[in-house]
Amino acid sequence: MRFETALSYDEFAYAQKFAATSLINLLKIHKQDFENIYEIGAGSGVLTKLILSTLNYQKITLNDLYKSEFMAKFETQIGDITSLNLPKVDLIISSSVFQWIDDLEALKNRLHASLKPNGILAFSMFCGGTLEELSSYTKQGLSYKNSNEIRQIFEDKFEVLSVKKDKFVVKFNSLKELLNHLKQTGVNNINGKFRLTKSSFKELENHFNGEFHLTYNFVNLICKKRELQ
Ligand SMILES: C[S@@+](CC[C@H](N)C(=O)[O-])C[C@H]1O[C@@H](n2cnc3c(N)ncnc32)[C@H](O)[C@@H]1O
């Protein structure tokens, strides 16, 4: 998966926009004023733009594996979040990224250490059932965690202030349109092994039975750092 090659990401990322909006709306119920914000996996700025228009803060740092054009105007920390030394901040926020992190437990420990006392971790991530329309056909789906598993990972070191599950279904007119959407958003559910031939295209088309839908299930968590004894 290479998001840097997904040039039309902004135009096609309906589900990611929905998840980011849902996250920011949930966060602002709890807190809107911060000193230092750190965003993980900012990409083309879908969530960042909502942060800028909704939250009050003094400083923001954007992280991603690659520096997008959007990120050029901001202070950045480029690299894999699982191995960077983060600055001390009072909000860590991320949307549509954590589903790609293999060891979420280890990341949680790093994030906990980077938050100031009472700091907030707010994130949305795709969870179980996402792109099930494809994985039910290919039997090669990504292993999205379910929302309970995700909550359990975080609740020993964080007080979970809110958990909100949501679902976004994108509808297409044809299989071609659907596959183009996946390509443009850099997402696929097929671990790179699955190749479409003319006959498997037809087979996949039949699998959709005239209803070209993709489901994105996601969960938002707003967590407050626990001070451990
Ligand atoms: C689906 S995009 C989401 C972008 C943006 N947050 C949004 O809401 O649209 C996922 C982003 O996470 C970044 N990413 C994936 N794994 C990462 C990692 N280990 N460290 C930092 N960024 C990562 C990708 O490069 C990509 O820009």
| Domain residue limits, the chain | 3-129+145-169+216-225
Are 144 and 187 spatial neighbours (Cβ–Cβ below 8 Å)? no
CA gap 227, 153 in Å, rounded: 16
Q: Of 103, 52, 54, 53, nearest to 62 (Cα)?
A: 52
Say if ligand 1 is within 6 A of residue 41 CB. Answer: yes
Q: Within 102-146, where are the H helices?
A: 104-114, 132-138
The mean pLDDT value for 88-113 works out to 96
Q: What are the C-alpha distances in Å from 159 to residues 165, 173, 189, 226?
A: 18, 43, 32, 6
**What was the pLDDT predicted at 17?**
92
pLDDT category of residue 88 using cuts at 50, 70 and 90: very high
Average pLDDT, the chain: 89
CA dihedral 30, 128, 158, 63 (to 10 degrees): -80
pLDDT category of residue 11 using cuts at 50, 70 and 90: low
Name the closest-CA residue to atom 14, ligand 1. 41
Name the closest-CA residue to atom 23, ligand 1. 41
Say if ligand 1 is within 6 A of residue 45 CB. Answer: no
Mean pLDDT check: name the lowest of 34-43, 131-140, 156-165: 131-140
Q: Of 22, 7, 4, nearest to 180 (Cα)?
A: 7
CATH T-level fold of 3-129+145-169+216-225:
Rossmann fold (3.40.50)
Position 227 pLDDT exceeds 70: yes
**What was the pLDDT predicted at 199?**
87
Q: Of 200, 70, 83, 79, nearest to 134 (Cα)?
A: 200
**What was the pLDDT predicted at 140?**
65
**What was the pLDDT predicted at 157?**
96
CA of 229 to the centre of ligand 1 (A): 33
Mean pLDDT check: name the lowest of 11-20, 100-109, 206-215: 11-20
> Ligand 1 pocket check: which of 1, 23, 65, 127 to mutate, most ligand atoms within 8 Å of Cβ?
65
pLDDT single digits (tens) 165-223 = 999 998 999 999 998 888 887 765 555 555 678 888 899 899 998 899 999 999 999 99
Say if ligand 1 is within 6 A of residue 220 CB. Answer: no
CA of 2 to the centre of ligand 1 (A): 10
**What was the pLDDT predicted at 3?**
43
Say if ligand 1 is within 6 A of residue 123 CB. Answer: no
